[in-house]
Amino acid sequence: MFETFQNEILFVARLLLGGAFAFAGLRNIQNRNLLIPMMAARGVPRAGHALWLGIVLQVAAGALVIAGLWTALAAASLVLFLIAATPMFHNFWDHQGPDRASRVNGFVGNVALAGGFLALIAHSV
């Protein structure tokens, strides 16, 4: 049954995965004044430049995933982004109580996103 809708299901998957990152990148532009000092405090050199590089990566790679262009490369770049960003922004081991629970949820969510991108890469190659 699902084979009939394989292209449609794949498009929705790309839309959801890529759209989440394009949206997050655009949202990070609004939050840059909060994110830059946070990144600098976590030891990121040239935090402002690193943030803008991350924003461009999120938006561009997210758009490529949605469009189905260079999907494996775009998805792989977002997996690498997640590997770098997840411990920086979802460092649950440094927190307690509700803040820890929130960061655990973000960490697990990013792990799941990485899994989705890996599945997309496997389908694309």
Q: What percent of the chain has pLDDT over 70?
A: 98
Reported as a pLDDT band with limits 50, 70 and 90, residue 1 is low
Average pLDDT over residues 69-84: 97
Contact by Cβ (8 Å): 113, 17: yes
Q: What percent of the chain has pLDDT over 90?
A: 85
In the predicted structure, residue 92 carries a pLDDT above the cut 80: yes
CA–CA gap between residue 13 and residue 118 (Å, rounded): 12
Q: What is the pLDDT of residues 13-46, one digit of tens each?
A: 999 999 999 999 999 999 999 999 999 998 899 9
Q: If 0-12 CB within 10 Å is exposed, 13-18 middle and 19+ buried, where does residue 58 land?
A: buried
Q: What is the pLDDT of residues 93-104, one digit of tens each?
A: 989 999 999 999
What pLDDT score does 125 carry? 85
Contact by Cβ (8 Å): 37, 48: no
- Mean pLDDT over all residues of the chain? 94
Q: What tokens does 79 get? A: 């997996």
Domain limits, the chain: 2-124
